[in-house]
Each structure stands twice: as structure tokens, then as C-alpha cells.
Structure 1
Amino acid sequence: MADQLATPADLAALLHIDEADLHVPAATLLIECATAVVQEVAGQRIVRAESTVTLEPSLGCWLWLPQLPVVSVESVTLDGTALVAGADYSVRGYRLWRSAGWQTAASWETAGVRAPSEITVEYTHGYEADAQELQRARQAVVALAGAVYGNPTGVTREQVDDYAVVYEAMAARMEAAPYLRDGLLRYYGRSAGLITLGG
């Protein structure tokens, strides 16, 4: 199931209709598309999720994780070797710190040219479904979905083509609302990662 930053009940409330009168498949499609647009604008996945990422090493001691906020780090592997939290590295907000840096001697090639180390991180990031921090994204999703719901575009069932059409329509609406786009980026973008949940 695709990410959803709002529910059909939220959409029904916005439209002032009884939830029983809501066409749930269409509402679900609209919410999923609007969520995708909002998360694309934010430049990251906002909902709580677990990810496994392979990162390029930094030249220093710090390594930035791409999804915010970082809730927990389950495992870190450097060139195939599992690292131990607290002994080999530590989590500082949305970054990993390792005193020896993130480039290992094992990554030297025989010709003496350094090849980048491979770092794999499994971690949990994003906000819980009922977190106050999601309200701005939820509001944007419901507004985008509400503006399209009932539009006579023929989108009444969930199909790949319908998803693409609805997504493009919502992306165009987002482009036409720079205040909303800028607000989402400011609130959920990388600079917002200075304030993180968990650790």
C-alpha cells in the first residue's frame, strides 16, 4: 500500500459529506497521489518507515542520513563488516559519527588508488501517523485531494494510468501554489532536520 498522510475520513470532513457517501477507492487514490506530491516537494519520505540505504563515504568523521527525522539506527555495515553502536560509531541527530572516518584501508586498490568504501545503514525515520509534526503535510494532502475529488476526470478506480493522471494534476496544483510548496520544503526539508525526534 502506498504512503498516506491523510485518511478518507479526513477528506470527507473537508468536503462536508458523510463518510458513507465517499467513494473510498477514488478517495484513497487521491490521498496516495497527494501524499506522493507532498513528499516529493519535501524531498523525502515524511511518514514513519524503515529503510536500508547504501551511502558514499564522507572524507571526514560525519555521515549524513538522507531521510529525516532519524528515529533509530538498527545496523551499520562498512565494507562488509558490521559496526557496533557506541564502540565503532555513534548517532548524532541525523548524522553518524565515526572517529576513524568512513574510508577504510581495505578499500585501497592494488594500484594505490583509493576506491570508495561501501556503507550500508538500516534505520527508522519519519513521523508517527498521529504526530503533531504531520499536521502541515496532512493539511496539504487533504487540500490537494479535496480540490480534485468530484472532478469529472473519470478517475473512479485505482489503476496505474489513473494514478499518473491524478498525480500530474496535483503536481500542477502544487506548482501553482508556491506558498504551500515553500512552506512544506521549509518545514520538512533537510534544514528542518536540525530538530529531530528520537536519537
Structure 2
Amino acid sequence: MALPPLATTDDLDARTITWDDQRLAETYLAVASAAVRDAAGVPISQTTSTVPLFGDGGQWLRLPGPPVVSVASVVLDGDALIPGEDWALVDGFLFRMCGWTVDGPQPKAFEVTYTHGLPDVPADVVDLVCRMAGAAIKLAEQDEGGAGLVVDRIVSERLGDYAVTYDKAAGATEMELSDRTRDRLRARFGGGSAAMVGTR
């Protein structure tokens, strides 16, 4: 299921970021949102996901992508486990008295369907997405052929016998997030695996 962008053209307008092409603006908002979600490791905005989770033998199973709002079902081998009898939701974790393991030679996943994430996207995340999309829109509009999309960040210049040095680690486009920003997003939103972003 495709997730809605973390920011809209109205958010661009609120920040006086100019855009003329609706399709272009919406495209870059979607791309920036995907980049931020990938960095966070979770959808951020509220959604319903079905994910396979493997237990480690303990009684507690952490659900990725907090906060967890509700759990619709827990399924093992096609059989639904009974809430309140087989499992309980406690502070974003699933509790099971007999533990989250399956006997047998092959590990088996518990398939969990649950609603999680934030009902409102935090203002700073909206701002980050808008800045990324705004920069990409501006660069795209500078050159009809798209050459303006290549980001060349200058880190040093010299005037005598003119020389310039570009930051090779800055990334290829405005959609690249710095390692510091990626680490901050992952730590803040408690990201699980990258697969968590692709909810279904």
C-alpha cells in the first residue's frame, strides 16, 4: 500500500517555497518522503501494516514502528491466535505466556497486522521534506533537461590559478540525507528493518 507523502503542496506554500508544476511538486514531495521514511526505518505517519516477526524464545515481542495503536490479528501457520488468551498488547509489545517460539526444525514467523505510527506528522519532519522537495524543484526548473538536478556542493575555492573542490560525500541529489540526519531519524522513530517502510 502506497503511503501518502509526509508533506503537501500546502506545506510548501506555508513556507513560501514556490512551485509551478503540480505534478513535479507532488513527485518530489513523494520522493523526499520516501527518503525520510527509509532513513527512519518506519512509515512515521499512521498506517496499518502486516509484518512477519520472529520470536527469540522470550515472552515479549517488540512491534516495529511505534507508537502502536492497536493489533488486529496475530497469525501462525494460517491460524489466528486469540487476543487475551494467546497474547496481549502491552506498551507496544506483544506478550505471550508460553513465549514467541515455534517448535520444529524451521523457524516460522508470526504474522502480525496492526495499526501504528503518528496521527500527525511532526512539524520538523514536514519541514525537512519541504526543504528537500523545494531544493529539488528549484534545481529541476533551472534546466529543462534535468542537468540542474546534479548537486555540486563546493567545499573550498582558491582565486589564484582558480580552483574549486566539490564535496564528493554530499550525495548525488538533494534527496540524499546526511549520515547525522539519518542517525537522528532512526534513533527518534525506533526504526526496524527497511522492510518496515514497505507496509502492506
| TM-score band w.r.t. shorter chain | 0.7 to 0.9
Q: What is the CA distance between 1:187 and its match in structure 2?
A: 2.2
Distance 1:155 1:24, change over 3 A: farther
Task: Name the count of aligned residue pairs.
Answer: 166
1:135 maps to 2:126: no
- Note the alpha carbon deviations across 1:106-130, whole angstroms, 9 max, x for none: x33xxxxx432331111111112xx
- Partner secondary structure for residue 149 of structure 1: helix
Larger Rg: 2
Counterpart CA distance in 2 for 1:66 and 1:3 is 19
- Partner secondary structure for residue 50 of structure 2: strand
2:83 to 59, 82, 85: 85
In the other structure, the counterpart of 1:14 is 15
Counterpart CA distance in 1 for 2:12 and 2:92 is 33
In the other structure, the counterpart of 1:185 is 186
Q: Determine if contact 2:54/2:108 at 8 Å carries over to the other structure.
A: yes
Counterpart CA distance in 2 for 1:155 and 1:59 is 56
In the other structure, the counterpart of 1:122 is 113
Q: TM-score, normalised by structure 1?
A: 0.72
What is the correspondence of 1:1-199 to structure 2 with a 5 Å cutoff? 1-17=2-18, 22-104=20-102, 107-108=103-104, 114-128=105-119, 131=120, 134-151=122-139, 152-154=142-144, 169-172=173-176, 174-175=177-178, 178-190=179-191
Counterpart CA distance in 1 for 2:129 and 2:85 is 42
In the other structure, the counterpart of 2:162 is none
Q: What is the CA distance between 1:16 and its match in structure 2?
A: 4.9
Query: How many percent identity over aligned positions?
Result: 33
Counterpart CA distance in 1 for 2:52 and 2:136 is 38
**When you count helix as a share of all residues, which structure comes out higher?**
1
Question: After TM superposition, where is structure 1 displaced by more than 3 Å over at least 4 residues in a row?
Answer: 153-156, 178-183
Counterpart CA distance in 1 for 2:99 and 2:145 is 52
Q: Determine if contact 1:137/1:184 at 8 Å carries over to the other structure.
A: no
Counterpart CA distance in 2 for 1:69 and 1:10 is 24
* C-alpha RMSD of the superposition: 2.6
Gaps of 5+ in 2: 150-170, 193-200
- Note the alpha carbon deviations across 1:112-153, whole angstroms, 9 max, x for none: xx432331111111112xx2x522211110111111222135
